[in-house]
Amino acid sequence: MLWIYAAIAFGPLVLVALGSFRSNADILQRPVGLPDSLDLGNYLRAWETASVSTYFTNSILVTVGAVALCVAVSATAAYALSRWRFPGRALLAAFFLSGLMIPAKLGLLPVFYMFQSMGLIDTRLGLILLYAASGVPFSIFVIMGFMRGLPTELEEAARLDGAGEGRLFVSVALPLMRPALAVVTVFQFAPTWNDFFYPLVLLRSSDRYTIPVGLTRFFGEFATDRAALFAGLVIALVPLALIFAFATRQIISGLTAGMSR
């Protein structure tokens, strides 16, 4: 059953990859088929002529910035909520986790007016802040669950050696959090990289488009450059494939250690 699922899931990706080496005329005549040769002309046309390089750069800046900010805020908050004892800790944790129950897109209208008043419409910074904030509840949930399952003896030993809270967090807690941070990074990177809705609504200038919105420019009123579109889709898949390939082991260990507690 897993092999059947894998074939269904990877089948469209294989067709897109093969189509990226074919011409538009060949694709129209034979929608499914093998390329005659491994011609990289479609990739060059998509990267240079169709501005995929600009969209790709924008997506990298927005996604990396949002994920880095989200992970930094979530790691510090989750550490404090799971290790420190202070009045209102449970209420504060419930406040953060309540964000999991509210779809972020329901708040688009107030977010739009708030960004408009702050001058963040049609800016990459606005997207970074929005994606980072929307990913904090899930990230805190994962990291808190992971931290609660870890022993506190290492931190107590570091305190006896004179380490302050900052040193504890950087030298002890962060290395222990690595599997959970990998899970959070991947689970925030993928939806942020693939998101089409927020860039479509909040961006106005084509030179600030991220790659999901930018790829729609391959569709014209009278014609569609399918070959270049397939090449652009393959380019868009490369960062996701790389991050999943390098973080698979950390994802599995983080999920099994954090979610089971």
What is the b/e burial string over 150-183, where b = at least 16 CB atoms within 10 angstroms of the residue's CB? beeeebeebeeeebeeeebbeebbeebbebbbbb
Does residue 214 sit in helix, strand or coil?
Answer: helix
- Reported as a single tens digit per residue, the pLDDT across 4-21 is 998 888 888 888 898 888
DSSP state of 255: H
DSSP assignment of 31-51: SS---SS--THHHHIIIIIT-
Residue-wise pLDDT tens digits, 74-132: 999 998 888 888 888 888 888 888 888 878 788 888 999 999 999 999 999 999 999 99
- The H or E element that residue 83 is part of is helix 52-83
Question: What global pTM score does this model have?
Answer: 0.84
- State the average pLDDT for the chain: 85
* Predicted confidence (pLDDT) per residue in 117-145, tens digit: 999 999 999 999 999 999 999 999 888 88
For each of the domains in the chain, give its residue range(s) and CATH number, in order of start: 40-258 (1.10.3720.10)
Between CA 24 and CA 5 the distance in angstroms is 30
What is d(CA 52, CA 59) in angstroms, rounded to the nearest whole number?
Answer: 10
